[in-house]
Amino acid sequence: MEEQDLPHLVMRACMQVHQTLGAGLSREVYEECLAVELRDMEMPAERGCPLNFNYRGWQIKTPSQMDFIIAGALLVRVLAVDEVSLQERQFMETWLRLTGMKMGMIVNFQVPVLRKGIHRITLKRKTAG
């Protein structure tokens, strides 16, 4: 499985959940059903990993948990909100930076058409200047 294929595979799992359940449920319900879909697809997914990172040489352990890490390369956040806010996007970018991952997806199941609820986030590489 190639790293660049991960978002497409996860999207397929999310679409199956949304097609089956529709909108209107809690975030936790969608997260649980997505875990089932990922398991059925035999995707290497870790769930509920703590956000731990290095800050100026100190190892910081937080109570915050990441919804899914797929194959150690894709961070997936599950939401069920009216609209994904700028704050949620910034939140994902910060988590990507802290974990060293480059790809993330915010999946908002509270939409009539799931394609409008999927937001891919990638960190841009900093250039030396």
Domain residue spans of the chain: 3-122
Q: What is the pLDDT of residue 125?
A: 63
Q: Is 70 within 8 Å of 76 (Cβ atoms)?
A: yes
Mean pLDDT, contiguous 10-residue spans, the chain (129 residues): 87 98 97 98 95 94 95 97 95 94 96 96 68
Domain 3-122 has CATH 1.10.10: no
pTM, rounded to two decimals:
0.90
Phi-psi region of 75 (alpha: psi -120 to 50; beta: other; left: phi over 0): beta
